[in-house]
Structure 1
Amino acid sequence: MNMLSLNVRGIDEDHKQRWVRRLCSEYRVSIACLQESQLGLLSSLQLNIRNCWANNNFGFELIEATGRSGGLITISDDEVFIVSDSIKSRYFFITFGRWVGINTEIAIVNVYAPQAPSKKRRTWEKLAQIKSSRVAIWIFAGDFNVVRRRDERVNSRFCRISADDFNDFIFSCALHDLRMGGYKFTYFRPEDGGKLSKLDRFLVCDNFMECFPGSSVTALAREFSDHCPIMLKTSCEDFGPRPFRFFNSWMLKAGFQDVVSEAWRKFRGYGNGDAFLAAKLRFLKKEIKK
Structure 2
Amino acid sequence: MKETGKGINFINVYSPQIVVDKRVLWSDLQRVINRDHDFWIVGGDYNCVRDRSKRRNSKFNASVSSEFNDFIDKVGLHEYSLKGRKFTFVSGNKCSSIDRILVSGDVINNWPDAEYRALARDKSDHNPLVLKVEVRNYGAKPFRFYNSWLLRSDLENIVVKTVNEFRGSGAPDIVLTNKFKRIRQEIVKWRKNKSIKEAEEEANLKQELIELDAMVEDRDLTDTE
CA distance in 1, matches of 2:14, 2:117: 19
Structure 1: gaps (5+ residues): 1-98, 238-290
Q: CA deviation at 1:135?
A: 2.1
Partner residue, 2:6: 104
More strand by share: 1
1:186–1:199: 8 Å Cα contact kept in structure 2?
A: yes
| 2:15 is aligned with 1:113 | yes
Question: Which of residues 104, 109, 132 is equivalent to 1:205?
Answer: 104
SS of 1:181's partner is coil
One-letter amino acid of the structure 1 residue matched with residue 7 of structure 2: E
TM-score normalised by L of structure 2: 0.58
One-letter amino acid of the structure 1 residue matched with residue 88 of structure 2: T
Listed one character per residue, the Cα deviations across residues 126-184 of structure 1 (whole Å, up to 9, x for unaligned) are 10011111221011111111000001000011011110110001111111121100011
TM-score normalised by L of structure 1: 0.45
1:214–1:236: 8 Å Cα contact kept in structure 2?
A: no
Partner residue, 2:200: none
One-letter amino acid of the structure 2 residue matched with residue 222 of structure 1: R
| 2:131 is aligned with 1:229 | no
Please provide the CA RMSD for this pair. Answer: 1.5
CA distance in 2, matches of 1:225, 1:186: 11
More helix by share: 2
One-letter amino acid of the structure 1 residue matched with residue 36 of structure 2: R
CA distance in 2, matches of 1:101, 1:114: 38
Please list, as runs of the form range in 1=range in 2, the aligned pairs for 1:263-278 lying within 5 A after superposition: none
Question: Which of residues 27, 35, 48 is equivalent to 1:133?
Answer: 35
CA distance in 1, matches of 2:18, 2:11: 20
Q: Indicate the percent of aligned positions where both proteins have the same amino acid.
A: 37
Structure 2: gaps (5+ residues): 137-225
One-letter amino acid of the structure 2 residue matched with residue 123 of structure 1: L
CA distance in 2, matches of 1:100, 1:187: 36
Structure showing greater radius of gyration is 2
Listed one character per residue, the Cα deviations across residues 57-93 of structure 1 (whole Å, up to 9, x for unaligned) are xxxxxxxxxxxxxxxxxxxxxxxxxxxxxxxxxxxxx
One-letter amino acid of the structure 2 residue matched with residue 134 of structure 1: D
SS of 1:134's partner is coil
1:216–1:234: 8 Å Cα contact kept in structure 2?
A: yes
Question: Which of residues 87, 93, 111 is equivalent to 1:185?
Answer: 87
Q: Number of aligned residue pairs: give it.
A: 136
Partner residue, 1:156: 58
